[in-house]
Amino acid sequence: MRESMRRLAFDDGEEKAVRGVRRVRVELLDGEHITIEVHRKARGEDLLDRICEDLDVAEKDYFGLLHLQRGDPRVWVDLNKRLSKTFRNEPWEVMFAVKFYPPEPTELEDEVSRYQIGLAVKKDIAEGRLPCSPITLALLSSYELQAAAGDHGAGCQCGALLAAAPPPPAPLARSALQDNVHALYLKHRGMSPAQAELQYLASAARLPLYGAHTHAARDVTLALSAAGLALCNEGVVLSRFPWPKIIKMSYNKRSFTLKLRASEFDEFETDVSFKLPSTRACKKLWKCSVEHHIFFRREAPVSVPGRHGAWGSPSCRRTLRQLRARPPHLTS
């Protein structure tokens, strides 16, 4: 851990209560925790900037902060809102996460940003949010092994690394997965750790649900990503609605509705509606959908009118087009 992060490490009983200063406990993508002090009037973007600065993440617009709200552990912190409006008791607790997964992660110029996105992908696989076939899991694990241990040899400690691999999907046994990983690992001889990490990201980006944020609806799961909105069932994509196909997204109580552009075979525009478990879940899906549409499709961020007036500035400060137009060191 870097020296600056050691100074921020959480240590119960030693933190001094300073007037006007609040403590935030941050869970990083590698599972470690740090504590950061922010002003009581700090906004979400101030905290995100501090975390990215300490991690040396240059392309910070892909990232966001998650927190627990009413039993839901994956609610995004509003970057435009004061943290004190969201949190109460100290320390405030957030999770550093990838909010907008780049469609082509290997093309990111910043090496640290690529590394953090790789950690997020590994976490998604380990926690079941990114399903993949047994052979794909073995391939990804073999690249991870090559990046960590280098070429197979007498001094390779691959046994412990194989044992630490994510649990295999049923009905594949762990021993069978390890055999497949080892066989693929032997084929990567001569590949540098940097090349192995790039191959890992490139392979993960081809998975159907790479970078998808899922929302449970009645009889189906809705998955938001750079490509649009997909309908899934038990990790299998049933159909997709690409962003260019979607004209409007709205919600009313528990009902989330898409207005779709007429195709060459359709005479009229069509509406597709989905029932969510609650109004809160429906609003969360709508907001996440709008933010993804803005980030991946718009030239620049825009304010979005909500059901009861202006929603305000979206929780993305730059769009993908803006990021691609400017080098990372010019986007701060």
Confidence of residue 164 (pLDDT cuts 50, 70, 90): low
Residue 176: is its pLDDT beyond 90?
Answer: no
- Report which of 86, 98, 97, 81 is spatially closest to residue 44, judged by C-alpha positions: 81
What is the residue type of 1? M
Residue 113: is its pLDDT beyond 90?
Answer: yes
User: Looking at per-residue confidence, does 96 or 149 come out higher?
Assistant: 96
Q: Tell me, yes or no, if the two domains 132-205 and 213-297 fold the same way.
A: no
Structural contact between residues 151 and 189, judged by C-beta atoms closer than 8 angstroms: yes
The count of other CB atoms within 10 Å of the CB of residue 331 is 16
* Percentage above 90 pLDDT, the chain: 61
- Report which of 246, 258, 144, 254 is spatially closest to residue 193, judged by C-alpha positions: 144
Phi-psi region of 112 (alpha: psi -120 to 50; beta: other; left: phi over 0): alpha
* Percentage above 70 pLDDT, the chain: 82
pLDDT in tens, 177-226: 778 888 898 899 899 999 999 999 999 999 999 999 999 999 999 999 99
Give me the CATH code for the 3-98 domain, please.
3.10.20.90
Structural contact between residues 313 and 45, judged by C-beta atoms closer than 8 angstroms: no
Mean pLDDT of 222-251: 94
Return the pLDDT at 6: 46
Return the pLDDT at 154: 43
Structural contact between residues 228 and 240, judged by C-beta atoms closer than 8 angstroms: yes
Return the pLDDT at 167: 59
CATH top class, domain 213-297: mainly beta
Burial degree of 19 (CB within 10 A; 0-12, 13-18, 19+): exposed
Q: Where are the domains of the chain?
A: 3-98, 132-205, 213-297
pLDDT in tens, 243-278: 999 999 999 999 999 999 987 777 788 999 999 999
Return the pLDDT at 151: 79
Q: What is the pTM of this model?
A: 0.86
**Angstrom distance (rounded) from CA 286 to CA 264:** 27
Helix H or strand E encompassing 38: strand 33-39
User: Looking at per-residue confidence, does 285 or 178 come out higher?
Assistant: 285
User: Looking at per-residue confidence, does 331 or 71 come out higher?
Assistant: 71
DSSP per residue, 71-132: TEEEEE--TTSBGGGT--SSSEEEEEEESS--SSGGG-S-HHHHHHHHHHHHHHHHTTSS--
Q: What 8-state DSSP symbol labels residue 17? A: -
Cα four-point dihedral sign 70, 41, 97, 107: positive
The percent of the chain in helix, strand and coil, each rounded to the nearest 5, is: 35, 25, 40
Mean pLDDT of 291-298: 93
- Report which of 99, 140, 135 is spatially closest to residue 117, judged by C-alpha positions: 99
On average, the pLDDT of the chain sits at: 85
**Angstrom distance (rounded) from CA 127 to CA 319:** 28
Confidence of residue 311 (pLDDT cuts 50, 70, 90): very low
Confidence of residue 329 (pLDDT cuts 50, 70, 90): low
Phi-psi region of 13 (alpha: psi -120 to 50; beta: other; left: phi over 0): left
Mean pLDDT of 230-247: 94
Mean pLDDT of 160-164: 57
Return the pLDDT at 328: 56
Helix H or strand E encompassing 152: none
Return the pLDDT at 310: 41
Mean pLDDT of 138-159: 77
Domain 132-205 has CATH 1.20.80.10: yes
Structural contact between residues 240 and 230, judged by C-beta atoms closer than 8 angstroms: yes
Mean pLDDT of 123-135: 91
Residue 60: is its pLDDT beyond 60?
Answer: yes
**Angstrom distance (rounded) from CA 292 to CA 61:** 12
- Report which of 128, 127, 123 is spatially closest to residue 144, judged by C-alpha positions: 123
E strand segments, 162-292: 213-217, 220-225, 228-233, 236-242, 246-252, 255-260, 270-275
pLDDT in tens, 9-49: 444 444 444 568 899 999 999 999 999 999 989 999 999 99
Residue 175: is its pLDDT beyond 80?
Answer: no
Residue 229: is its pLDDT beyond 60?
Answer: yes
Structural contact between residues 168 and 134, judged by C-beta atoms closer than 8 angstroms: yes
Q: Name 4's Cβ contacts closer than 8 Å, sequence gap at least 6.
A: 54
